Structure 1
Amino acid sequence: MILLQDRNLSDITLVLDRYGLELVQLASATEIPGSYWGESEAGLIGNRLYVRLDTPLHSLLHEACHFICMDEARRTGLNKDAGGDYDEENAVCYLQIVLADYLPRFDRKQMWADMDAWGYTFRLGSARAWFEGDAQDTHEWLMAHGLIDREGRPTWRCRY
């Protein structure tokens, strides 16, 4: 599993900046504010994404995609629990896979492996099987909300 310490934070910041997200790096062993899962998992409060160097990259992208996929009203009061429904959670998972391709030395294949290793569950048995064979409705949801284009590329906008 790829951790933030294994990558250049400035590359990650460039992607997050496009969405108005601020990356806040914390010292080792510091409790992560806004973390839904605790331990080393990323935390989200407003537009601030809290991480440590031992935070998994998939966790950072997952929480970032919650921010991107929720509507503006929920983003305004965001503190730890992104909420949302089943379709939005699927959109978050899909978009984090898409965004993985925009980070140097990381891509969707690594994201699929890290998601599977962490324990994301998909009815087809793996993140890749779901993404390639069972996520057309999620692709359409992301397009309908202006978050990806027809080819599946990010529009670099948050849901309005």
Structure 2
Amino acid sequence: MQRYRDHRDAVDDLLRRFAPLEPVRVPAGEPIPGSYWGGPEAGLLGARIFLRDDTPVHSALHEAGHFVCMDAGRRLALDTDAGGEVAEEDAVCYLQVLMADQLGGISRDQLFADMDAWGYSFRLGNAQAWFERDAEEARDWLRRYGLIDRFGALTWRLRA
């Protein structure tokens, strides 16, 4: 499992590209504010994403994806539970893979394995199969809201 401690600077730099999202480091052994699942999973409160050294990178990217995909009104009231519909959750999963591509030192294979180990559930049985063969609706959702371009690349914007 890829952990935040091994990719701190790269993860922080990537997340800051989605300003006003701001990564906040949590000391070892401290509870993670805004964590829906509890530590070591990332937490969201407003525009802050809380990360501890043992936070899985996929969790950091997933929660950041929620921040990017939710509308501005939900971002203002964000406190732990990102909410959203199933289509948005799928878009978040797709987006976290695209974000991982921006991090040196983490391959898609590693990210997919970490997602599967955590327990993400996909119709085709695993994250890679879903991403490669069953994620058309997620891509369409991300395009509809201007979060990826027509070629599938990140636009580095937040949903309005």
TM-score range, shorter chain: over 0.9
What is the Cα deviation at residue 17 of structure 1?
Answer: 1.1
Equivalent-residue separation in structure 2 for 1:6 and 1:92 (angstroms): 23
Matched residue of 1:149: which SS? coil
- Corresponding residue of 1:61: 61
Q: Counterpart of 1:106 in structure 2: which amino acid?
A: I
**Backbone CA RMSD of aligned residues:** 0.8
- Corresponding residue of 1:81: 81
What is the Cα deviation at residue 106 of structure 1?
Answer: 1.0
- Corresponding residue of 2:72: 72
The 5-angstrom pairing of residues 24-35 of structure 1 reads: 24-35=24-35
- Corresponding residue of 1:14: 13
- Corresponding residue of 1:138: 138
Cα deviation, 1:89-116, whole Å, max 9, x if unaligned, reads 0000000011100001013221111100
Aligned length: 159
Equivalent-residue separation in structure 2 for 1:17 and 1:50 (angstroms): 13
Asked if 1:90 is matched to 2:69, the reply is no
Structure 2: give runs of 5+ residues left out of the alignment: none
- Corresponding residue of 2:107: 107
Equivalent-residue separation in structure 2 for 1:18 and 1:138 (angstroms): 22
Structure 1: give runs of 5+ residues left out of the alignment: none
Q: TM-score of the superposition, structure 2-length normalised?
A: 0.97
What is the Cα deviation at residue 5 of structure 1?
Answer: 1.4
The list of structure 1 runs, each at least 4 consecutive aligned residues, that deviate by more than 2 angstroms after superposition, is none
